[in-house]
Chain A
Amino acid sequence: MPFVKDIENYKSLSIIGLEKNTGKTECLNYVLSRLSDSGKTIALTSIGIDGENKDQVKQTHKPEIDVYQGMIFVTSELHYKSRKLVSEILDVSKQSTSLGRLVTAKAITTDKVMISGPANNAGLIDIISNMSNFGVDITIVDGALSRKSLASPTVTEAMILATGAALSSNITQLVFKTKYVYDLIALSETENQTKEILFNIRDGIWAIDNNNNITDLNISSVMMIERVKDRLFEAGNRIYVSGAITDNFLNFLKNQKQIKETEIIVRDFTRIFAQPEVFYSYIKRGGKIKVLQKTKLVAITINPVSPDGYILNSEELKKALEEKLGLPVYDVKKITN
């Protein structure tokens, strides 16, 4: 079967679920089993907590992640202690997360385990670069958009998106919502110079002019935008927001007279917390958005079964997505069987 050949050459890959129960774990298990068949040394970690035994809200059975013999995995001390598999500790991080330090271990047997990983980008970057010390060919990062995490999947070279009926039981709606995320992921990166200057700024809202001079606008968050509207464009039409972008912010900007010259810059697509309608409306008015860091979306997987038990027509969904997105789409239920 497909796309594993395409991802073999990346050093890191994230598998991101658009919503809970979109079949991300099945996709992950599939990718892991195929990669390990191909003889590659794989490392696995996660952004946020995963491997929960049961989805807390919907009480549907949530599969744990299969870790194969020979795989390297990174998880918190807490989850390491409650593992079933036999594994050898290779490293323990100096930094701590809320679940303890991170343990890097090699699986001696094949079994299931709970994977919880770094809580921020710096931690994730560290782990991925550390993996080369253990002869790892590719690091897989498990994550979900619905989870609050400061670690972004855009740190990895490539990404697979998992979507499905859990997002919507209506195919048109499902395609629309998925296309939205696709469009966000496709936002272009700023030029290298701008990237370098902004990369280490983690607070506040800044203006950048045409010569890449930056000015702190002294606005602590996008919520305050109404109060400072007079100052917003004082130092340039490009605005860097280190935190999140909201509906409010986009709606406010789209109504300003400078809309056609306005360019918002954010760290990566996960910082955009706007409804699709608001986003598209802003873009339609001429506004632009760019990111500091983007990753390559290589495939989409679908889970046609919703947690309510509703089953969508897999072929129809697959076709509709492929048309809109121009990317290969795979049904997880079919490929895992």
Chain B
Amino acid sequence: MLLRNIIPLINSLRFMVERLTLQSSLGKRFLLDSTFMIDSKSINNELNLIDSVLDILNSNNKGLINKLQIKLMQIRDINGSVNRISRNMVMDDVELFEIKSFALISKEIYDLQKQSEIEIINIPDLSTIISILDPNKSNIPSFYIYDIYSADLAEVRNQIKIEKAKENADQHTLNNLHLKSEAIESSVREDLSKQIKEHITELLLAVNNIAHLDLIIAKAILAKEMSLTKPILSDNNWEYIEMFNPQIQDSLSKQKRQFQPVDITLDNSICFITGANMAGKTVILKTLALCQYLAQFGFFVPSQKAKIAIVNKIMISIGDEQSEEQGLSSFASEMLKINDMVAASQNKERVLILIDELARTTNPVEGRAIVNAVANIFLNNKTTSVITTHYSGLSKQCRKLRVKGLDKEIQPGVINKNNINDYIDYRLVEDEAGDVPHEALRIAQMLGINQNIIDGAKSELNK
């Protein structure tokens, strides 16, 4: 599972990735090709690297990071050339120039780390490659097939010079000399390419590590800017204190409003989330998905504190799945998804399952039955899962969380459709009662919905 394939699926993930300040295209490619990690060692390695950069950013040495980024900006993408060398192809002048430039900057990055006595990521020694492409030891990032590579070449070039200086330079002679010099240059290029190939391992490692360095620095800066936290990996349970969604927080702040962070714990079992409309249940699901992906792709997460268990897969059902092309209704598409989730549960796979408004697209009687049936399966198989729902009469054995919602004490007339979001308490509480809150009419009234509907519905309820 590559990051590039997950980004289009999760908006808030794209939001964060777009804000990474990567300096090189090598770094960008490394980011998109990063894999979803399922072992704690790899994840912790990556998180520790980010930590080490954050330490530097918070210390007297923070200038080092800026200097590194400036070098990274100059790094050339030699991926294609390195591939070609490993396939025994001959480099042209432009490619040799780029490899030389890469090697020189790589050395500068190496030197920067050495001077500060800090090694974020090991940069291999490329001095042999540099000396192959810099026979005159000039240390300048320019390149051509120097005379020093071949005495014959120097001789032919000299002959060309002499011939051209003549009054009646012979075009025929010149053409022949040019052909000769091109032939020698070609064989020099072949030789240089072979020599570089002998050091291809160091080159590949350098390309990889420099790209990785670019990414780590970007992740650390992102963590600092967005106040992200290093997740602690656990075996079986999740605990978030003040979890927030950066994308939604960002759009709220543009309207001069704030995002209310939420605390939540999960374990190897089913958990319902109930609550009034507009109470942020879907946002909680989306943020749980975001944090899980971020952690397992080696990022810090948007939460004051976070303890996260590793899963092999995240399965999500949020939003209208209607697929007219396939002739499937919303209900059918959703059920097919649930089917996969239940199969994973029955296979005792290590998954995180997130379902929004399960079975909302069918009649409430059967809907509730389906919800309870699915929940019980997850309960019995100890599958970590979160289902949001409006249905009441939920299975009593299953854990229930409720979004606090609108304060009961608020007088009518205070709230309207423009300020209602400011009065909703988005925090979660454990809910022992079996019934879901009935606040739909109260909220509809505040939104200014036609009073006939409100009155009519109330009298229906009283029957």
List residues of chain A with CB under 8 Å of any chain B CB: 77, 80-81, 84, 86-90, 92, 101, 103, 105-106, 108-111
Contacts and interface: CB of A to CB of B under 8 A. Distances in A.
Nearest to A108: B144
A92 B98 contact: yes
A86 B143 CA distance: 11
A87 B97 contact: no
Identify the interface centre among B76, B92, B142, B161: most chain A CB within 10 Å of its CB. Answer: B142
Interface of B: 76, 92-94, 97-98, 142-145, 157, 160-161, 164, 178
A109 B144 contact: no
Contacts of B145: 86
Identify the interface centre among A77, A87, A89, A92: most chain B CB within 10 Å of its CB. Answer: A89
A88 B92 CA distance: 13
A110 B157 CA distance: 11
A89 B142 contact: yes
B155 to A, nearest CB: 13
Nearest to B77: A94
Contact of B94 (A84, A103, A108, A109): A103
25 contacts: A77-B94, A80-B94, A81-B92, A81-B93, A84-B178, A86-B144, A86-B157, A87-B144, A88-B142, A88-B143, A88-B144, A89-B142, A89-B143, A89-B144, A90-B142, A92-B76, A92-B94, A92-B97, A92-B98, A101-B94, A103-B94, A105-B144, A108-B144, A109-B157, A109-B160
A77 B92 CA distance: 10
A104 to B, nearest CB: 10
B15 to A, nearest CB: 26
Contacts of A86: 144-145, 157
Main secondary structure, interface of A, reads: strand
B161 A109 contact: yes
B90 to A, nearest CB: 13
A161 to B, nearest CB: 32
Nearest to A81: B92
A81 B178 CA distance: 14
Contacts of A80: 93-94
Main secondary structure, interface of B, reads: helix
A77 B142 CA distance: 16
A105 B144 CA distance: 9
Given A89-B97, A109-B161, 9 more contacts: A77-B94, A81-B93, A86-B157, A89-B142, A89-B144, A92-B98, A106-B142, A109-B157, A111-B164
Contacts of B94: 77, 80, 89, 92, 101, 103
A111 B145 CA distance: 17
Give 7 closest A-B pairs by Cβ, nearest first: A88-B144, A89-B97, A90-B142, A88-B142, A89-B143, A92-B94, A84-B178
A89 B93 CA distance: 8
A39 to B, nearest CB: 21
Nearest to A83: B93
Contacts of B93: 80-81, 89
Contacts, number: 34
A87 B143 CA distance: 9
A77 B144 CA distance: 14
Contacts of A77: 94
B55 to A, nearest CB: 33
A101 B98 CA distance: 12
A255 B92 CA distance: 60
A110 B174 CA distance: 13
Nearest to B174: A84
Contacts of B142: 88-90, 106
A332 B142 CA distance: 36
Contacts of A84: 178
Nearest to B182: A84
A106 B144 CA distance: 10
A9 to B, nearest CB: 28
A245 to B, nearest CB: 39
A101 B95 CA distance: 12
A322 to B, nearest CB: 37
A88 to B, nearest CB: 4
Contacts of B97: 89, 92
Contacts of A110: 164
Contacts of B143: 88-89
A189 B76 CA distance: 40
A165 to B, nearest CB: 29
Contacts of A87: 144
Contacts of A92: 76, 94, 97-98
B441 to A, nearest CB: 47
A109 B97 CA distance: 19
Contacts of B98: 92
Nearest to B185: A86
A81 B185 CA distance: 12
Nearest to B157: A86
Contacts of A81: 92-93
A89 B178 CA distance: 19
A81 B92 CA distance: 8
A16 B94 CA distance: 30
Contacts of A103: 94
A90 B145 CA distance: 13
A106 B141 CA distance: 13
A108 B185 CA distance: 15
A106 B94 CA distance: 13
B347 to A, nearest CB: 48
Nearest to A106: B142
Identify the interface centre among B93, B160, B161, B164: most chain A CB within 10 Å of its CB. Answer: B93
Contacts of B92: 81
Contacts of B164: 110-111
Identify the interface centre among A81, A84, A86, A101: most chain B CB within 10 Å of its CB. Answer: A86
Contacts of A106: 142
A244 B164 CA distance: 47
Nearest to A84: B178
B38 to A, nearest CB: 36
Nearest to A77: B94
Contacts of A109: 157, 160-161
